Structure 1
Amino acid sequence: MKRLIQMILVGAGFTANIHTASAVFVVDDQVVSDPATFLGDPEFDSRTNQMVWQDALGDLWVADIDPATGDISPLDGKGTLVDSGLASIVGVGNGPEWTYGVQDAHIAYTRLINGTTRAIGIASMDGAGGWTTRILNDGFNRWRPEGTSPSNTSAARIAYIKGSGAGNQIAWRNIVDSTSETVATSGVDGARFVAGSSFLVSTAKVATVSQLQIIHEVTGQVTQITFGANHKYNPATFIAPEFNEPMITTMQNKTAVAVWRNVAGVWEKHHTINLPTSKGYVSSPEPFTYGGKSYVAVVAADALGVGNFPFQPAGDTEIWIAGIDPGQPFYRRIDDPSTNAQRSEPEVYEADFGPVVFYTETDPVAGTAIVRRADTGLGDTTGYDMPLYGGPWSVMHRDNRNSGSTPYEIPDAYVGHNLAFLKNVQINRPTMGPKGNIYIPYYDTNAGYARKFASLEAATGAVNYSHDSTVLLPDVTVAAGNLIDRNGDYYVSTEGAMNKLDSDGNLIWSTPIEGFTRSPQFTSTDKLIFLTWNGWVYVMEPSDGTILMGRTMTGWRDY
């Protein structure tokens, strides 16, 4: 695949856009909300294809997103009125946020009780496609909630500020268990969960410098993790597929984006992103991943500070995405460079054609706010140079290109059959059996994202069977790593177990393992061999699931 170097003319200067891609990037930046409606700071959920936002009257609205086009429906964002009486964003400092369990998504927000007391509200989808709302038990004098990420593999939780003035504390809890509330030993500015870990991250002034600190989710113990003279603001977290581990982004001195990685127990700066633009400040860095790589969506601005929001961009601004790999610089401006506007709050949504960035365009003079959608162009990126989810080290390849690609001849045409949308195609891979049937684990979008696996006829797409995987495989959080033996028996990994089922979907055995695998294979002596995402290698007896060897190769790492 050729490496293209594209030069984009912006204003009076040039900015380099270096990226491996299948086509030259063309800006696609469109208005997607009703210009007559003041619609600001929405939050997007790629799981349920919905958008949540709060209007100036304190009403909580949910609208649909079409994953095929990225369009908002209805255009004014007022699809379903979920709740009313929300506290002002200006006073609280944030609007409603999504929070995620293994398969469930909820909305957390700050309500105002009797016009004076703040409390946390929770909105949850019911089985009929509607919403139920409630005030959190023991939720009074708790506000500005932040939720767990879509990668969360346990119950949905929120972190928030506890208190009503002097003596505020950082606290967090399970959204259904008031007794689970834990309070940090120090800190007052709020916190966010570190994706894929048992920690939260926040900032605190040390002497005169804003530093990062992590908070142990069980004990509340606070540990400073950054040092030096540079200020760190507005931390956000993500799981980087390049390393299969949590990382943190921050604003550095309001002028750059810093990316942090835990190396052998010490948080180190992995990369500093200095945007190739004449704008001197950055705002709202939003990390995201796609195609096995990590990126940051961020605003470039001439100045920061709008009202009570010191980090909000002011004046004419730009929307950029950038890569986190210091060895392969990638910068791309994705908003329309032919127009000047005040742009803010980039939010990434994964459409069917690739990730897009929604952002708010504000006109302070006219008093309007609209939502625009800018395509990242990353959906065009493809090829064998794309890293696999979790890194190629954890995959046992069986073709001579070491690519994991099919060993069969590629046909000139395909016949498509639709079963259900695969929520994570990087993990949920189909496998063909010896009789031409296809086995596949998947999320059923027509049944509340129920975890299932099915057998299909490859020639016709007819469903032989489709089972609820939580019935046959209790406590399953993910199904991956399909393998078929010569008898048509089916081997599939779940979180913490390797399982064998017959061709009718009946469970034969289930053996506990560390983590889960994506690439089991048979040895030359017909034993089952596989690697797990967290560095274990196993050899098992296929007939009964006996572990013949189980050994960690990364014992120095804390997963």
Structure 2
Amino acid sequence: MSAHLYSRRQALTALGVTGFLTLPAHAETFVVDDQIITDPRIAVQDVEFDFIEGRIAWQDKQGQLWVAKVDPVTGAFMPSTGQGRLIDTGLAGISDSGNGPEWAYGIDGPEIVYTKYTDSSRSAFVLAHARNINGNWYTEVLPNLPLDQGGYSPIGSQDLNDPDPRVKYQLGGPETGSQGLAYRSLISPSWGIVPDPTADAGRWVEKRRSLIVTILVNGVRQVAYHEIDTGVLTQLTSDPGQKNNVFMWEAPEFNHELIFMASVNAETIDMYRFLNGAWTRFNSLKPPSPRPYLL
């Protein structure tokens, strides 16, 4: 999510509060009541919400990492600037790294993963994480692994009972650009690489030690599933359309089976389900207005 101003509805939705969206979309009596909850003087960008403890994490344009609370009733940031507590400095600019700080979850609770510059020349990236232990924040640059490349744009795993939380990231740096996808543990030296150099757009799959990614097949971006324990990469789709921004989860409305969605040609959001032995598109959502990209 990227914006300079955040509404109460955006904040509460991110925290899992959706009771205010009970009226059907066609109801003539429905009136949007968005209220600005951030200080208009502060350029709050790429905010990520911690749904466990009701917090936000974000970085400002000076490369400072901030954490603040969110009022679960009003959705207001506390304080309204979002600058509750300064956690770290020297973060890589989002325009360089492609992503701001992200929450990662494991059995020991939430932590934050993010990208820093290695030095003032901004010629290379390094991954870092921040943990809150007994009310105090501790930051650490993740130790080097035998990849001989930098890393940036991390995405943390989301399993609350996982004793080994992980982070997915792009290999490479400011000068080389992306060299593929890698992943590593946040508490041990274990690591791996998605075995396709064209892999992109990786996200952790709910409750599984797996990534959902896209790979380039005959010039078309298709969806693939990578199991990090076996190293196996399986192509899931082969239909027309450039896939991007893929998410896979257990769907309660389908008896908790896995489904996934993908932005296709930056025009529609297509939904896929495993039917009759193959992953099949069963729905396609067309946004009400054209946008340059979909997230």
Counting matched residue pairs gives: 265
In structure 2, C-alpha distance between the alignment counterparts of 1:80 and 1:251, rounded to whole Å:
35
Distance 2:178 2:90 in 1: 26
Provide the C-alpha distance between the structure 2 equivalents of 1:57 and 1:4, rounded to a whole number of angstroms.
41
Identity %: 31
| Residue matched to 1:221 | 232
CA-CA distance at 1:100 after TM superposition: 0.5
Determine helix, strand or coil for the equivalent of 1:30: coil
Q: How does 1:133-148 map to 2 (within 5 A)?
A: 133-138=139-144, 141-148=150-157
Shift of 1:152: 5.5
Shift in CA distance, 176/54, structure 1 to aligned 2, threshold 3 Å: same
Which consecutive unaligned segments of at least 5 residues does structure 2 have?
1-21
Q: Distance in 2 between matches of 1:110 and 1:190?
A: 17
Mapping for residues 122-201 of structure 1, pairs under 5 Å: 122-127=129-134, 129-138=135-144, 141-150=150-159, 153-164=162-173, 165=176, 168-178=179-189, 180-187=190-197, 188-201=199-212
Contact 1:152 1:195 in 2 (8 A): no
Which is strand-richer, 1 or 2?
1
Q: CA deviation at 1:8?
A: 5.8
Q: 1:232 aligns with which of 227, 243, 261?
A: 243
Counterpart pick for 1:119 among 119, 126, 139: 126
Supply the AA of the counterpart residue of 1:130: N
Query: Which residue in the other structure is 2:68 paired with?
Result: 63
| Equivalent of 1:7 in 9, 22, 26 | 26
1:166 CA displacement: 6.9
Per-residue CA shift, 1:355-413, capped at 9, x if unaligned?
xxxxxxxxxxxxxxxxxxxxxxxxxxxxxxxxxxxxxxxxxxxxxxxxxxxxxxxxxxx
Listed as ranges, the matches of 1:380-459 within 5 Å are none
Partner of 1:49: 54
CA contact (8 A) 1:199 1:216 kept: yes
Q: Is the CA contact (8 Å cut-off) linking 2:50 and 2:56 kept in structure 1?
A: yes
Distance 1:151 1:274, change over 3 A: farther
Instruction: Give the one of 68, 78, 81 matched to 1:76.
Output: 81
Residue identity opposite 1:66 in structure 2: D
**By how many angstroms is 1:106 displaced?**
0.7
Pair 1:208-2:215 in alignment: no
Work out whether 1:31 is the aligned partner of 2:43. no
User: Are residues 197 and 266 of structure 1, via their aligned partners in 2, closer, same or farther at CA, if it must alter by over 3 Å?
Assistant: farther
User: Residue 253 of structure 1: CA displacement?
Assistant: 1.6
> What is the CA–CA distance in structure 1 between the aligned matches of 2:58 and 2:246, rounded to whole Å?
22
Q: Are 2:117 and 1:109 equivalent residues in the alignment? A: no
Instruction: Tell whether 2:260 aligns with 1:251.
Output: no
Q: 1:189 to 1:147 in 2, by over 3 A?
A: same
Q: Look up the equivalent residue of 2:136 and give its one-letter code.
A: G
For residue 239 of structure 1, report the CA deviation from its aligned partner: 2.4
Deviation at 1:219, TM superposition (A): 2.7
Look up the equivalent residue of 2:283 and give its one-letter code: H
User: Structure 1 residues 57, 217: closer, same or farther in 2, change over 3 A?
Assistant: same
* TM-score (ref. length: structure 2): 0.82
Residues 17-28 of structure 1: pairs in structure 2 closer than 5 A? 25-28=30-33
SS at the partner of 1:31?
coil
* Uncovered stretches (5+) of structure 1, i.e. residues with no partner: 10-23, 281-300, 305-310, 313-344, 346-559
Task: Tell me the amino acid that sits aligned with residue 57 of structure 2.
Answer: V
Tell me, what secondary structure is at the counterpart of 1:191?
strand
In 2, the alpha carbon distance for the partners of 1:145 and 1:251 equals: 20
- Mapping for residues 281-292 of structure 1, pairs under 5 Å: none
| Larger CA Rg, structure 1 vs 2 | 1
TM-score (norm 1): 0.45
1:166-212 Cα shifts (integer Å, max 9, x gaps): 7823111210112x101121134352111122321111221221111
